[in-house]
Amino acid sequence: MSEDLSRNERIKEASNYLRGTLAEGLRREITGAINEDDAQLVKFHGMYLQDDRDLRPERTRKKMEKAFAFMIRVRVPGGNLATAQWLALDRVARDYGNGTVRLTTRQSVQLHGVIKSNLRPTLQAIDAVLLSSISACGDVNRNVMCNPNPHESRAHAAALDLARAISDHLTPRTPAYREIWLDGERIIGGEDEVVEPIYGKTYLPRKFKIVVAVPPSNDVDVFAHDLGFIAILDSNGHVRGWNVTAGGGMGMTHGEPETYPRTADIMGFCATGDVLAIAEAVVTVQRDWGDRGNRKHARLKYTIEDRGLDAFRAEVERRAGVKLDPAKPFVFTSTGDRYGWTEGEDGRGHLTLFIGNGRVRDAGPGAQQLSALRRIAELHDSDFRITANQNLMVASVPPQRRAAIEQIAASNALLAPRSGLRRNSMACVALPTCGLALAESERYLPDLLDALDARLAAYGLSADDIVIRMTGCPNGCARPYLAEIGLVGKGSSRYNLYLGASFDGSRLSKLYAEDVDHAAIIERIDPLFATYAAERKVGEHFGDFVIRSGFVARTTNGRDFHANVGARRAA
């Protein structure tokens, strides 16, 4: 192999289709960890080796090993879970995890705090309800997302079918997962192309994320993803085909302007029957063209920036044997969830609950959310839908069950809050589990929201929808650069403040203030709220307002992200 390849490429190549020495590592009782190479490979199996960062100082003092445990991410295509599957996840979270279930911004479920000796029983329990964690992380296609909108029911059904078909088509074929975690027989691999016909031995240069959107909702944040399909509906609500988007991504590194978030380009339009061929072609072009030397430059967004959209599209069309039509018009209105009840076409209702930062746990009287959802799942044998905003929809509720479910939700703080800011908030996990976190996120955002809500109330803006997102580092797991107010961890209790993304998720924000702590965040945002209340036009969203008023410049895309700033920027 060329010396130019990154270390992860060597690990993948030598791993024998993701086996590495994971099976041996699991048997080593002397440590709660696994070796470094296996820690890279275990991501492809949907797990991250982590340690409790809150406990680090004490354990270092006592000369103890870090408090290692694993995060397991379960794939849930389209966010659709049978309530029986939810009950199984609830059980393993309590038996083997830290007693919480984390709904993610990509419609999957994370279990935290699973120690090494409990990994196999946990994955076996997950497998027993036909769920899996394979390729929930790693350099492969991850969980495929899909709008859970019950308003456009027929389009939603088509979108969910498509999300599941794409997910199945791009799931790694290696038997390593079954072998290592589920006691599968060792199956001797055949020719390379037989084992992994799409990925080959070294899989993709970097993670790959696909979503399916149903306008007018852009809840899945289609422009944040490597590949997207936007449903184009006819006047009867039937899907005519799909606009194809490519080259979106969030991650960047502080101080490295050659890394940047980017919104996806719209490549064209295709028929439903061509979607799998297009998806596979996009994946294989990225497999072959993506940068395998520098992992910070390995996402599809950089391939498209470097090669140009036209060359990329031509190669995708050639490999797929499909000529894309020009993109069709569509309109997105928001990225948020519609809370409360909505009516299905069959007389059943769907109740969208608010889950603060996606963390489901029993937090005390009036907020026993894990138990409450367990009770709802026990009494409602149907499905739950995880939304792309870390919330949960109880779907397909017959009229006679509505009152009981709503009552359980209401008495456990699961109904949407009044604050328009909180209703549109997301935070990534960050501390104490995420090894990359530079600052708090999930544990801090609720306090910041209290403070900002007080300011909004003072200006009569409490009920206005404003999208706010926070992450503990610039990797962007909660898609902060697409929030009207984005806060990105810079160091302990310090954040970079980004403003000016659009409410419909189509435009990135810009850096407005650097290295701000709690007091400074409020100090910088408060005058903007005041001006917004006084000067906004009818229906004007906050992200558009700060640009029109000159507080930040408008971002066009990608490379332009770091260039700032508007004339009225505070000193």
Query: Do residues 509 and 467 make contact, with C-beta atoms less than 8 angstroms apart?
Result: no
Whichever of 179 and 442 has its CB closer to ligand HEM, that residue is 442
Whichever of 225 and 423 has its CB closer to ligand HEM, that residue is 225
Helices 83-95 and 119-128 meet at what angle, rounded to 10?
Answer: 170
User: 131 contacts which partner out of ligand SF4, ligand HEM, none, CB within 5 to 8 A by kind?
Assistant: none
Among 33, 304, 468, 473, binds ligand SF4 (CB under 6 A): 473
569 is catalytic: no
d(CA 112, CA 360): 12
Return the structure tokens found at 342.
């909505």
d(CA 425, CA 338): 13
Q: Which of 292, 385, 473, 510 is catalytic?
A: 473
User: 456 contacts which partner out of ligand HEM, ligand SF4, none, CB within 5 to 8 A by kind?
Assistant: none
At its nearest, how many Å lie between ligand HEM and the CB of residue 70? Answer: 10
Whichever of 158 and 482 has its CB closer to ligand HEM, that residue is 482
User: 245 contacts which partner out of ligand SF4, ligand HEM, none, CB within 5 to 8 A by kind?
Assistant: none
- How many other CB atoms sit within 10 Å of the CB of residue 210? 26
Query: Do residues 522 and 532 make contact, with C-beta atoms less than 8 angstroms apart?
Result: no
146 is catalytic: no
- Told to check if 428 binds ligand SF4 by CB under 6 A, we report yes
Secondary structure (3-state) at 208: strand
**DSSP-derived secondary structure for 161-207:** HHHHHHHHHTS---THHHHHHS-PPPPPP-SHHHH-TTT-TT--SS-
Please name the residues in contact with 337: beta carbons below 8 A apart, sequence gap of 6 or more. 219, 352, 387, 389, 391, 393
Give the CB-nearest residue to ligand HEM: 251
Which residues sit at the interface with ligand HEM, rule CB under 6 A? 48, 50, 71, 104-106, 110, 224, 250-251, 358, 390, 428-429, 433-434, 436, 475-479
- Told to check if 304 binds ligand SF4 by CB under 6 A, we report no
At its nearest, how many Å lie between ligand SF4 and the CB of residue 477? Answer: 3
428 is catalytic: yes
296 is catalytic: no
Return the structure tokens found at 162.
């498509």
Phi-psi sector, 331: left (phi>0), alpha (psi -120 to 50), beta: beta
Whichever of 355 and 456 has its CB closer to ligand HEM, that residue is 355
434 is catalytic: yes
User: 433 contacts which partner out of ligand HEM, ligand SF4, none, CB within 5 to 8 A by kind?
Assistant: ligand HEM
Q: Which of 12, 19, 102, 207 is catalytic?
A: 207
Whichever of 353 and 478 has its CB closer to ligand HEM, that residue is 478
Query: Do residues 110 and 73 make contact, with C-beta atoms less than 8 angstroms apart?
Result: yes
Whichever of 75 and 479 has its CB closer to ligand HEM, that residue is 479
Q: Which of 12, 477, 490, 510 is catalytic?
A: 477
Nearest CA among 482, 522, 516 for reference residue 497 = 516
Return the structure tokens found at 92.
């393993």
173 is catalytic: no
H helix or E strand, kind and range, residue 430: none
At its nearest, how many Å lie between ligand HEM and the CB of residue 90? Answer: 18
Whichever of 80 and 471 has its CB closer to ligand SF4, that residue is 471
| Cis bond upstream, residue 432 (ω within 30) | yes
- Told to check if 52 binds ligand SF4 by CB under 6 A, we report no
User: 355 contacts which partner out of ligand HEM, ligand SF4, none, CB within 5 to 8 A by kind?
Assistant: none
- Told to check if 434 binds ligand SF4 by CB under 6 A, we report yes
User: 105 contacts which partner out of ligand SF4, ligand HEM, none, CB within 5 to 8 A by kind?
Assistant: ligand HEM
| Cis bond upstream, residue 77 (ω within 30) | no
Query: Do residues 12 and 138 make contact, with C-beta atoms less than 8 angstroms apart?
Result: no
- Told to check if 250 binds ligand SF4 by CB under 6 A, we report no
d(CA 516, CA 439): 12
Looking only at residues 435 through 464 of this chain, which bind ligand SF4 when binding is defined by CB under 6 A?
A: 436-437, 441
| Alpha carbon 35 to chain centroid, angstroms | 27
User: 473 contacts which partner out of ligand HEM, ligand SF4, none, CB within 5 to 8 A by kind?
Assistant: ligand SF4
d(CA 86, CA 63): 39
- How many other CB atoms sit within 10 Å of the CB of residue 309? 14
d(CA 476, CA 307): 24
User: 472 contacts which partner out of ligand SF4, ligand HEM, none, CB within 5 to 8 A by kind?
Assistant: ligand SF4
At its nearest, how many Å lie between ligand SF4 and the CB of residue 570? Answer: 26
Return the structure tokens found at 72.
């397991």
Which residues are part of the catalytic machinery? 73, 142, 207, 209, 428, 434, 473, 477
User: Which residues contribute to the site for ligand SF4 (CB under 6 A)?
Assistant: 428-430, 434, 436-437, 441, 471-473, 475-477
